[in-house]
Amino acid sequence: MPLVQCPECRADVSEQASKCPKCGHTLREATRTVFGKVIKYGFIAFNAVMALWLISGLGSAGQAIEGMGSDAERAGATIGTAIGAGLILFLWFVGAVIGGFAVLLTRPKA
């Protein structure tokens, strides 16, 4: 196993080490793999799409409710909007938990 010198304390350290065992100086930064980056940016994109979906759905439902004639129609549309928003929030939560674990499992190792 080849050894390198720590630039801070000049101790001999393994080439594979990320930190010097003597002084703790960082020798190399841990980086994500390509798969880890895809998971991370997919997680970010998922959350952005879910937020956009919720905002646009509530906005269009609000416009539709304003244009309705009777109180019964408005009440039905309001209940439907609440159920739809609840489903979106449930899917968002489940997806965020699963995606969060995937991001956690693909984080760079020290």
Per domain, the residue ranges of the chain are 1-27, 31-105
Per-residue pLDDT of the chain (110 residues; tens, 9 = 90+): 688 888 888 888 888 888 888 888 888 887 889 999 999 999 999 999 999 999 999 999 988 888 888 899 989 999 999 999 999 999 999 999 999 999 999 998 76
Read off the pTM.
Answer: 0.73
Position 110 scores a pLDDT of: 65
Q: How far is 43 from 50, CA to CA, in rounded Å? A: 11
b vs e for 71-89, b when ≥16 Cβ sit within 10 Å of the residue's Cβ?
Answer: eeeeeebeeebeeeeeebe
Cα 64 to its chain centre, rounded Å, is 32
